[in-house]
């Protein structure tokens, strides 16, 4: 479910840094939520949307009104994009981990020699 900034927003900008997906932007003084980035904090560690949790007015950020099928297809597209993402996550993770591990081994070897 996507959220939107309402006219009750007081421009405190507390929602911007707490958004885990970076969906909230400020352009020419107007705050907006990118519906393609906003996931309602569903795929995060949070139990409530952080834009709502951080809003002092409680009405500055609300659920966007979409019909059921539009929301369903948005969720479907996000899931398919994650499943077909060819980001090579594990290869990047292994390369990073193995590089750090080899550096630690080198430090241990050099400290034993010295």
Q: What is the pLDDT of residues 74-84, one digit of tens each?
A: 778 877 877 77
Share of the chain above pLDDT 70, in %: 96
Two tokens, residue 88 = 């090579």
Residues 6+ apart with CB under 8 A from 50: 15, 18, 19, 20, 41
For the chain, the average pLDDT equals 83
Terminal CA-CA length for the chain:
59
Of 62, 49, 61, 50, nearest in space to 10 by CA: 61
The tens digit of pLDDT for each residue in 48-103 reads 899 999 899 888 888 887 777 777 787 788 778 777 776 777 777 787 788 888 88
Q: Residue 1: what pLDDT?
A: 65
**H or E, element range at 24:** strand 24-27
> Has residue 20 got a pLDDT over 80?
yes
């Amino acid at each position: 479910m996507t959220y939107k900034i309402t006219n009750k927003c007081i421009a405190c900008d507390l929602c911007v840094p707490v958004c885990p997906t970076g969906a909230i932007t400020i352009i020419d003084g107007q705050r907006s939520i990118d519906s393609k980035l906003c996931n309602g904090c569903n795929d995060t560690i949070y139990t409530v949307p952080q834009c709502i949790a951080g809003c002092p007015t409680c009405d500055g950020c609300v659920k966007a009104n979409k019909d059921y099928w539009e929301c369903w297809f948005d969720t479907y597209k996000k899931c398919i994009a994650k499943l077909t993402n060819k980001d090579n996550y594990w290869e990047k993770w292994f390369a990073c981990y193995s590089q750090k591990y080899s550096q630690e081994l080198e430090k241990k070897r050099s400290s034993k020699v010295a």
